[in-house]
Amino acid sequence: MTWELDAKSGKLTGTQKRGDQTMQLTGVRAPVLKRSAPKFLDESGAALQCQGSYRLGTAWKSGNSHWTVKDGLLVNEAHGANLKTTRTFDDFKVHYEVNCPDDGNSGFYLRGRYEVQIEYEPLTSNPVERRIGSIYGRIAPKPELPRTPGQWETFDVTLVGRYVTVVRNGVTTIDRQEIEGITGGALDANEAEPGPFYIQG
């Protein structure tokens, strides 16, 4: 694969060539996104008020949807379609609970662009920055908590600009760290815009 790019007026433009395929590219600088904590957080980053529950939309990607509601729980029993919220969000604190089985792999996307990894694949399958509770491929959780496949776990995630805090099972594992860019599987690269919550199927 080769790239032929020109830098002009703060953009990169050009082509990507792979074999006999050519694709046009345009690249722009990632936004800084340094902001003060919103009013729903106090100085420590704790939530001051409940922001409510939000409805999930229909399956986003084509393919078979295996999402069902059983006994009041959202369940996915096989690989298939992804879900995203009908509403978009800017800065927020979100709480969710997951029960990931052994050999399971999914993810919860913040603004549809930054994946909080959910997985219990063999440890040899993924480096630490791609294991449960990481910002996939970007930020490894510290400390790395015991693995508990098949058990319920809680996540409280705060995203302000591109700074993220992850509290897993009551333990802060990522503390106000900057996410350097979108993660694999992102819906788009428009980081300065609000985006949905997005769950891998």
Question: Tens digits of per-residue pLDDT, 1-27?
Answer: 999 999 998 899 999 999 999 999 888
Give me the pLDDT at residue 28, please: 85
Residues 75 and 122 sit within 8 Å (Cβ to Cβ): no
Q: Which domain holds residue 15?
A: 1-29
Verify that 45 and 69 share a domain, yes or no.
yes
Q: Is the pTM of this model over 0.85?
A: no
On whether both 6 and 49 belong to a single domain, the answer is no
Q: Are residues 193 and 166 in the same domain?
A: yes
Does residue 152 share a domain with residue 127?
A: yes
Residue 48: predicted pLDDT: 41
Residues 43 and 115 in one domain: yes
User: Same domain, yes or no, for 39 and 9?
Assistant: no
Count of domains forming the chain: 2
Low-confidence ranges of the chain (pLDDT < 50): 46-55, 58-62
Instruction: Indicate whether 113 and 139 sit together in one domain.
Output: yes
Residue 77 shares a structural domain with residue 87: yes
The confidence score (pLDDT) of residue 58 equals 47
- 21 and 44 together in one domain: no
Q: Is residue 60 located within the same domain as residue 155?
A: yes
How far lies 157's CA from each of 32, 63, 124, 182, in Å? 20, 29, 26, 16
At 117 the pLDDT is 98
pLDDT value of residue 41: 59
Rounded Cα gap, residues 32 and 30, in angstroms: 6
3-state secondary structure of 182: coil
- For the chain, the 3-state helix, strand and coil shares in percent, each to the nearest 5, are 5, 45, 55
Same domain, 2 and 64: no
Q: What is the pLDDT of residue 74?
A: 87
What local confidence, expressed as pLDDT, does residue 138 receive? 98
Cα–Cα separations (whole angstroms), residue 119 to 126, 143, 180: 10, 17, 22
User: 164 and 107, same structural domain?
Assistant: yes
